[in-house]
């Protein structure tokens, strides 16, 4: 039986107490609400204490911790095996992003994983902004938008001089704008402008 099934089975007998505790909260500045929370907590405290101080909960937490450590060890051992000889140094570029937690979802374990990684390897946090190359829904390669390279007008050439090839290339790129290019059934190119991941 895995950990989730064990927790569900063990909590089945505590359902009444847990539901009562979930209806009140200690947050907020309302004294009456806090008093109600304390009354409910005191009413259910003995039953909750008796259940959650049983050795099986401590064993379960220890087993889960050991499982996570084994998973990290197996992953990082496989990563270490990529080195061709012992003189090589493995450096990990770790994405330093943080994902906002939303209701019903779990946050990415960035801090824990980063610490485990930094304990074993030289780890450099990198900014994740626009480090991706494939659109997450379309599965197509993302490209920078470019306009046609063109020279200055004759009046501007007379006033400022002609642009070099490098200057024309630089001016042709539209800063920050990305596109997904695909081919339609009739052979025409189709461009969709995209931003970073949503």
Q: What pLDDT is recorded for position 198? A: 36
Q: Please report, rounded to a whole number, the percentage of residues in the chain having pLDDT higher than 90.
A: 19
Higher pLDDT: 62 or 96? It is 62
Per-residue pLDDT, averaged over 100-104, amounts to 54
**179, 143 Cβ separation under 8 angstroms:** yes
Domain parsing of the chain, residue ranges: 142-194
List the structure tokens of 192. Answer: 């969709």
Based on the number of CB atoms within 10 Å of its own CB, is 76 exposed (0-12), middle (13-18) or buried (19 or more)? Answer: middle
In sequence order, the β-bridge partners of residue 126 are 95
Burial of 89 per CB tally in 10 Å (0-12, 13-18, 19+): exposed
pLDDT digits (tens, 9 = 90+) for 106-133: 445 467 888 888 888 888 777 655 555 6
pLDDT computed for residue 42 by the predictor: 93
* pLDDT tens sequence across 140-177: 666 666 666 667 778 888 888 887 878 777 766 655 56
Q: Which two tokens stand for residue 111?
A: 């801090």
């Amino acid at each position: 039986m895995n950990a989730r099934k064990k927790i569900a089975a063990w909590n089945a007998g505590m359902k009444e107490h847990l539901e009562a505790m979930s209806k009140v909260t200690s947050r907020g500045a309302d004294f009456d609400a806090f008093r109600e929370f304390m009354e409910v907590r005191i009413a259910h405290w003995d039953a909750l204490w008796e259940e959650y101080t049983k050795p099986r909960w401590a064993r379960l937490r220890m087993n889960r911790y050991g499982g996570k450590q084994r998973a990290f060890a197996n992953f990082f051992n496989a990563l270490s095996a990529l080195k061709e000889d012992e003189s090589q140094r493995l450096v990990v570029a770790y994405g330093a992003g943080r994902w906002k937690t939303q209701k019903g979802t779990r946050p990415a374990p960035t801090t824990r994983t980063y610490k485990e990684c930094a304990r074993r390897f030289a780890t450099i946090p990198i900014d994740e902004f626009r480090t991706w190359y494939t659109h997450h829904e379309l599965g197509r390669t993302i490209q920078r938008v470019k306009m046609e390279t063109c020279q200055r007008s004759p009046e501007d050439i007379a006033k400022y001089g002609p642009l070099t090839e490098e200057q024309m290339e630089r001016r042709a790129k539209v800063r920050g704008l990305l596109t997904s290019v695909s081919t339609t059934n009739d052979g025409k190119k189709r461009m969709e402008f995209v931003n970073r991941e949503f």
